[in-house]
Chain A
Amino acid sequence: MYQEVILDHYKNPHGRGLRDGDAEVHHVNPTCGDEITLRVKYDGTTIKDVSYEGQGCSISQASASVLNELLVGRELADAQKIQETFLELMQSKGRLEPDDAMEEVLEDAVAFAGVSKYPARVKCALLSWMAWKDATAQALGGADAERKTA
């Protein structure tokens, strides 16, 4: 479960710290007490920044770091595809062996495949991704964004 990649992100997180954003959300995982405050900054439909502060287990913190690395600079549609693929992997209960295509989309995030075997920890891995989705919906405003990010 604790892949080297995950530990690296935990110890040396990418993009940590809160910076200017269009929307801010605060999400918690009540079972662990993991918390994240996350901001998104958009330039049109391009993700300019995802900044965050949080506390919690290595899985939740490393996942936020991976998210920052993967999503910043992307077009919203690409980011949504990554988010959906990551969600699919995390909900696979360890039954999904990531193939080359998935690895290409998820990059470092495929390291979380092992976490999907541990139901108690899946929420830790998804915390920042759910926060990003929520913040994006708020930043891009109203029903239009809801539909785009659903």
Chain B
Amino acid sequence: MTQLPGLLDTEAIRKDFPVLDRLVHDGKKLVYLDNAATSQKPRQVLDVLAEYYERYNANVHRGVHVLAEEATALYEGARDKVAAFINAPSRDEVIFTKNASESLNLVANMLGWADEPYRVDHETEIVITEMEHHSNIVPWQLLAQRTGAKLKWFGLTDDGRLDLSNIDEIITEKTKIVSFVLVSNILGTVNPVEAIVRRAQEVGALVCIDASQAAPHMPLDVQALQADFVAFTGHKMCGPTGIGVLWGRQELLEDLPPFLGGGEMIETVSMHSSTYAPAPHKFEAGTPPIAQAVGLGAAIDYLNSIGMDRILAHEHALTEYAVQRLSEVPDLKIIGPTTAEDRGAAISFTLGDIHPHDVGQVLDEQGIAVRVGHHCARPVCLRYGIPATTRASFYLYSTPAEIDALVEGLEHVRNFFG
């Protein structure tokens, strides 16, 4: 067994994740390397979900009966856990959504309907980057199309990093919002937040950070980031699907208009007009994903019990090992940074001329689950002139032995199509 400094006790951790024991394709051990798509769920989260429905299920913020009060306490307790997890100054800055896409769409729509000084209109500019997930591209394209605002973006360097050489021309006095990814889901790049935030603050632009691939893997401190909005999703961090988070600075959430209207988000309603509840409820119309929020709270408890700094060290050690092992595979080319420096644990690559769908299918026959395709970041594939990539991505339960299995599997793929 390969021993690397910084590794977690994966033997113990893996016992918490029932699905990792699954055998696939006639008895092959599952090697799950698709964690950037979604993580597996530990028993501790699955139990809390079952317990919620078995003992507490009720709608929140409405009834006066026991279950309603308990369900509300659990739901709001999850908000406290999220707030502490990201070091939010106030729990009222944590908005529950259904996923990171909804969080990012919410920001775009707040700004589209906002009054001055936040309003995005035909005289203003929106800035994103070429390495964004489609969820941080399309909402801004929609906003630009609907308001006449100009959409601009940072390009990429050949080694998979943001090209900030023209930052003063990209972010200007006209810029209203800069939205970018903290850790790329396709390249693995960890972006230099400070440089971008400093320039945005110089010109008075708001900053929105997509932390979907960061929140599961490293300590996240929204105050240290100095952003105005931070979005992420629960299912990539051991939580259930159907729950996402938007954190926003309190004064902004007070000033900005609601997007979805409905129950829960109001103060009073008449047939002529309504007034709104204070944030975060102003942005949570309708019955929220209650069990999912409670499940996310349990996932945060689980991650905290291990420690985000230790998870980061574990994945860094694995990434170092993986880039080294993958570089030994003939014809393999990593798309993105080729070292573990400023890099997350998602590694995309091409393997000679073999199409990623063929790579993924033959790996699957060996029980190895990876993602193939453009990873909802098609502009990155266009930038590097490739139709698609194969992506292996790790998490707290991933092991060096699984990386060995991947490398062996890739050898098999090469022989098969060679």
Contact = CB atoms under 8 A, between A and B. Distances in A.
A124 B357 contact: yes
- Rank and list the top 6 A-B pairs by shortest CB-CB distance, nearest first: A33-B387, A57-B355, A57-B357, A58-B358, A57-B358, A33-B388
A124 B356 CA distance: 13
Interface string B365-385: 000000001100000010000
Nearest to A1: B361
Interface string B335-372: 00000000000000000001111100110000000000
Interface residues of A, number: 18
Contacts of A57: 355-358
Contacts of B387: 32-35, 55-56
A121 B417 CA distance: 17
Contacts of B362: 2
Contact of A32 (B373, B416, B417): B373
A124 B387 CA distance: 14
Interface of A: 1-2, 7, 10, 31-35, 55-59, 118, 120-121, 124
Nearest to A120: B357
Contacts of A10: 417
Given A33-B388, A58-B354, A58-B355, 13 more contacts: A2-B358, A2-B361, A2-B416, A7-B416, A34-B355, A34-B387, A55-B387, A56-B387, A57-B357, A57-B358, A59-B358, A121-B361, A124-B357
A31 B373 CA distance: 7
A56 B355 contact: yes
Interface residues of B, number: 14
Contacts of B417: 7, 10, 58
What does DSSP make chain A's interface, helix, strand, loop or mixed?
A: mixed
A121 B416 contact: no
Contacts of A124: 357
Nearest to A28: B387
Contacts, number: 40
Contacts of A34: 355, 387
A32 B361 contact: no
Interface of B: 354-358, 361-362, 373-374, 381, 387-388, 416-417
30 contacts: A1-B361, A2-B358, A2-B362, A2-B416, A7-B416, A7-B417, A31-B373, A32-B373, A32-B387, A32-B388, A33-B373, A33-B374, A33-B387, A33-B388, A34-B355, A34-B387, A35-B387, A55-B387, A56-B387, A57-B356, A57-B357, A57-B358, A58-B354, A58-B358, A58-B417, A59-B357, A59-B358, A118-B361, A120-B357, A121-B361
Which of B355, B361, B373, B388 gathers the greatest number of chain A CB atoms within 10 Å? B355
Contact of B355 (A2, A31, A32, A118): A32
Nearest to A33: B387
A7 B374 CA distance: 24
Contacts of B374: 33
A124 B417 CA distance: 17
Nearest to B418: A11
Contacts of A120: 357
Contacts of B355: 32, 34, 56-58
A138 B362 CA distance: 38
A56 B388 CA distance: 10
Nearest to A35: B387
A7 B416 CA distance: 9
A57 to B, nearest CB: 4
Nearest to A58: B358
B365 to A, nearest CB: 8
A44 to B, nearest CB: 37
A35 B381 CA distance: 15
A56 B416 CA distance: 17
A125 B90 CA distance: 54
Contacts of A118: 361
A2 B365 CA distance: 11
A54 to B, nearest CB: 11
Nearest to A124: B357
A31 B388 CA distance: 10
Contacts of A55: 387
A56 B387 CA distance: 8
A124 B354 CA distance: 15
Nearest to B387: A33
Contacts of B381: 33
